[in-house]
Homo-oligomer: A and B are copies of this chain.
Amino acid sequence: MKADLNPHISVDCVVFGFDGNELNVLLINRDPADASHPTGKLKLPGDLIIRSEMLAAAAQRILTEFTGLHDIYLKQFGIFDDPQRLDSSDDLEWLRNRSGLSIERVVTVAYYSLVKINHSIQTDLSIAYHACWYPCASIPALIFDHNRIIENGMEVLRRELLTEPLCFELLPDKFAINQLQRLYEAILGCSLDNRNFRKKIQRLPYIEPLNERQKGVPHKPARLHVFDNEKYLLLKKDHTIFIL
């Protein structure tokens, strides 16, 4: 029950993270651990906005609360505005109680965000609400229309991955080419030829090979690379676009 909420507009975040193997989404419990009647229901991180707040700021705020991270990549990708979207079961009742407001219609603005999954930072809220990664391939049933929001977010991500350098938001700063390939394969749901993928990546002037190798792997360690965003932006101005 926060002060000064705008009872008409919310934001919801589809937070994607890549664990090296598959794409995951961050979900939280509807009710905090100390609630008198926890329900086990799950939802996306999101909330009503504060009365005078910008939407993107609200999304950043919520993400920081649940991940401890700042400056997360965020992209608005849709609006979910069916006047009946909150009507199902007891979820509307719950929202009214929680916000202390007389909620009628809530339009939610959906963002997807991309984070490097490795930092398993624990914040108060992420603990209270059991924030957890769920593989995109097996998302449980969520409240409201949150399953649809995720579906839609994945479609947009798949599309935009092909024309914008989003992949680097999901990988560690220093990454191996094969990691990058696995990321593409996971998101696009197809398999790629390793040799051709390598060639294509190595041709890109804004991907710099380092004289550094992976550590702690039980086999030949791969060479690490970094994405040079400045170089990328320069080339982009000259109409060179991305991949794949």
Give bound CA distance, A162 to B8, whole Å. 36
Proximity string of chain A (1-31) to chain B, C-beta cutoff 8 Å, 1 when within and 0 when not = 0000010110000000000000000000000
Give bound CA distance, A198 to B100, whole Å. 62
Contact of A9 among B8, B52, B53, B76 (CB under 8 A): B8
Proximity string of chain A (77-90) to chain B, C-beta cutoff 8 Å, 1 when within and 0 when not = 01101110000000
Residue ID in chain B nearest A159 by CB atoms? B163
Q: Is A35 an interface residue (CB 8 A)?
A: no
**Are B54 and A81 in contact (CB-based, < 8 A)?**
yes
User: How many Å from the CB of A108 to the closest CB on chain B?
Assistant: 11
Residues of chain A from 161 to 188 with CB closer than 8 A to chain B in the complex: 162-163
Specify which chain B residues have a CB less than 8 angstroms from the CB of A8 in the assembled complex.
Answer: 6, 8-9
Contact of A107 among B9, B78, B162, B163 (CB under 8 A): B9
Chain A interface residue number, banded: 20 to 34
Q: Is A51 an interface residue (CB 8 A)?
A: yes
Specify which chain B residues have a CB less than 8 angstroms from the CB of A53 in the assembled complex.
Answer: 83
**Are A55 and B81 in contact (CB-based, < 8 A)?**
yes
Proximity string of chain A (41-68) to chain B, C-beta cutoff 8 Å, 1 when within and 0 when not = 0000000000111110000000000000
Q: Is A150 an interface residue (CB 8 A)?
A: no
**Are B78 and A54 in contact (CB-based, < 8 A)?**
no
Contact of A6 among B51, B105, B162 (CB under 8 A): B105
Residue ID in chain B nearest A109 by CB atoms? B79
- Interface-centre pick from A78, A107, A159 (highest chain B CB count, 10 A): A107
Specify which chain B residues have a CB less than 8 angstroms from the CB of A163 in the assembled complex.
Answer: 159, 162-163
Knowing A8-B6, A9-B107, the reply to whether A83 touches B52 (Cβ < 8 A) is yes
Give bound CA distance, A82 to B9, whole Å. 14
**Are A79 and B55 in contact (CB-based, < 8 A)?**
yes
Give bound CA distance, A107 to B108, whole Å. 12
Contact of A79 among B52, B76, B105, B162 (CB under 8 A): B76
Known: A9-B107, A55-B107, A76-B79. 11 other contacts (CB 8 A): A6-B105, A8-B8, A8-B9, A9-B9, A52-B83, A54-B82, A54-B83, A76-B78, A79-B79, A79-B109, A159-B163
Q: Which 7 A-B pairs have the closest CB atoms?
A: A8-B8, A52-B83, A55-B81, A54-B81, A9-B107, A79-B109, A76-B79
